[in-house]
Amino acid sequence: MGNVAFSLFFSFIDCLMAYKKPCHTDKAVSIINGSGCPSKWASLPVSFDVLDKLVEPIDHVRFAAVCKGWCLLSKEYNQTTGRWRKVLPMLMIPTKSSQEEDNSETNQCIVYSVYEGHIFNNIQLSVCDGQKYCGSSHGWLAVVDQGLDYLYVTLMDPFRKYVAPINLSGIDYYDLNPDQEDNYMTEDRYMNYLPKVILSADPYLKPKDYWVVLFYQTNLRLCFHKAGQTYWSCCKFKEITCISDAVFYKGQVYTVGTRGKIVLFDIKSKIKHPRVPKATRLTGSVFERSARKAYLVESTEGDLWHVRRTVKRKEGCDGTLTDSFQVYKVVFDKKDRSIVEQVEVKSIGDEALFVGDNHSMSFLASNFAGCQPNSIYYTCDLLHFQHPERRPFDMAVYNLENETITPFYSLTSWQKGNPRAAWICPQFNGLC
């Protein structure tokens, strides 16, 4: 592509950037429909090299809106590279409750873009009073509601308003805690110590083929729900001392404890009575000391990483704060898929990890302007911060190379008293 063409192209992009909005004029509509195309744009010899230089998904959309030829090129680029199949998570921040017309309270949330550094006030989510957020996965937000005999889970998509919420079957409190004769895990305690919920896939794209996993750190129970079922399957694996995180990996469910113990739950095989997946312990306790939190993350190259989060008391703060992270690659036997070892990884290269109440995620930082490579973005998901007297302010980005911690968002005094913030990843399907 010649210098003149490059100059024209980037002049056009600069013009689009100045307006920050795609054009919605009749002329633009006719262009996309193929009934018109400015000759000076259509004649430019654009290629994938040009699209590689667009650092934001919205720039890709603006490029495709120029003319039919560029739209076709954009589709081909997205299908070939898969670059825009994932967008970075955004920080969902609970705000003050608001009073509705019927005098019921709703919990409002705003969305903050870390790499762009500003709040999107036009993206808001309201959740009825009594419901609480308990995780996000594949762009969906999970909220729990306390019933008389059951805990109810609802899946909501805050970015696609036309998608109806999914009300899952209730979970009997006894199934969550059948071993406690004194009912240690009372209904109130279930709401104070929130579970974590992860999904295997986007229910909008695979409405009949997704799994939901819910688990508590406090009583070691895992609950499984498959699309179309009218019940939850709850099970307990006695050898686990703590469930810190779970992940869908290679079609199965893996859990990890704070001392590195990894357990596989087989959801591929036909599940018979009592309708719970078979559990297999793949490793014992690998570490002598427990991490404050542990996560399982699938890297962009398909490896499974075990991420350990350590904390320490710091002067001038209430409780403990994150001090460091360590990353370990889980090495599997190629024949039977048993775990051979966990090897510490000093650098994750161009990857950026996002951990917290969300299902743990990994992205290539170079695909997103402002995203730090070799870093871990984390929110406050430590159990003791669930109590009202604690404050959910432990959010920052940890750089593995220089071991530094840099805050990316400062909570206001009133935000610190609200439910904790969490990552949520908008679903962007590109132009395919």
CA distance 204 to 189: 32
Structure-model confidence comparison of residues 254 and 159, the more confident one: 254
pLDDT(178) > 70: no
Tokens, residue 275: 């309708």
CA distance 171 to 174: 8
Average pLDDT over residues 42-70: 72
Chain centroid, CA 15 distance in Å: 33
CA dihedral of residues 330, 333, 339, 345 (deg, nearest 10):
-20
Q: What is the mean pLDDT of the chain?
A: 75
Query: 295-342: per-residue pLDDT in tens?
Result: 999 999 999 999 999 988 877 666 678 999 999 999 998 888 888 899
In order of 113, 196, 236, 240, 271, the CA distances from 254 in angstroms are 30, 14, 14, 12, 17
CA distance 59 to 216: 41
Which of 20, 40, 23 lies closest to 32, judged by CA?
23
Structure-model confidence comparison of residues 261 and 70, the more confident one: 261
**59-64: long-range contacts, CB 8 A cutoff, minimum separation 24:** 59/13, 59/16, 59/17, 60/84, 60/430, 60/431, 61/22, 61/431, 62/13, 62/16, 62/22, 63/13, 64/32, 64/431
Give the model's pLDDT for residue 27: 32
Which pairing describes strands 361-364 and 375-378: parallel, antiparallel, or unpaired? unpaired
Which of 222, 357, 244 lies closest to 296, judged by CA?
244
pLDDT(415) > 80: no
Average pLDDT over residues 208-233: 85
Whether the CB-CB separation of 259 and 243 falls below 8 Å is answered with no
CA distance 182 to 284: 31
Average pLDDT over residues 249-259: 92
Those residues with Cβ within 8 angstroms of residue 245's Cβ, 6 or more apart along the chain or in another chain: 196, 255, 256, 293, 294, 295, 296, 360
> Per mean pLDDT, which of 168-177, 212-221, 294-303 is the most reliable?
294-303
Which pairing describes strands 150-156 and 140-146: parallel, antiparallel, or unpaired? antiparallel
| Minimum mean pLDDT range among 186-195, 237-246, 371-380 | 186-195
Structure-model confidence comparison of residues 59 and 180, the more confident one: 59
> Per mean pLDDT, which of 6-15, 45-54, 175-184, 409-418 is the most reliable?
45-54
Q: Is 429 helix (H, G, I), strand (E, B) or coil?
A: coil
Structure-model confidence comparison of residues 391 and 143, the more confident one: 143
Give the model's pLDDT for residue 57: 67
Give the model's pLDDT for residue 36: 44
Structure-model confidence comparison of residues 105 and 251, the more confident one: 251
Tokens, residue 45: 């010899």
In the numeric block, the tokens 């859990």 are attached to 255
CA distance 420 to 393: 8
Those residues with Cβ within 8 angstroms of residue 308's Cβ, 6 or more apart along the chain or in another chain: 260, 287, 291, 293, 294, 325, 326, 327, 328
Give the model's pLDDT for residue 74: 79
Report the predicted TM-score, pTM, of the whole model to 2 decimal places.
0.78
Whether the CB-CB separation of 381 and 390 falls below 8 Å is answered with no
In order of 249, 298, 380, 431, the CA distances from 79 in angstroms are 23, 22, 36, 9
Q: What is the DSSP letter of 358?
A: B
What are the φ and ψ backbone dihedral angles of 121, each rounded to 5 degrees?
Answer: -75, -15
pLDDT(384) > 90: no
Query: 19-41: per-residue pLDDT in tens?
Result: 333 333 333 333 333 434 455 66
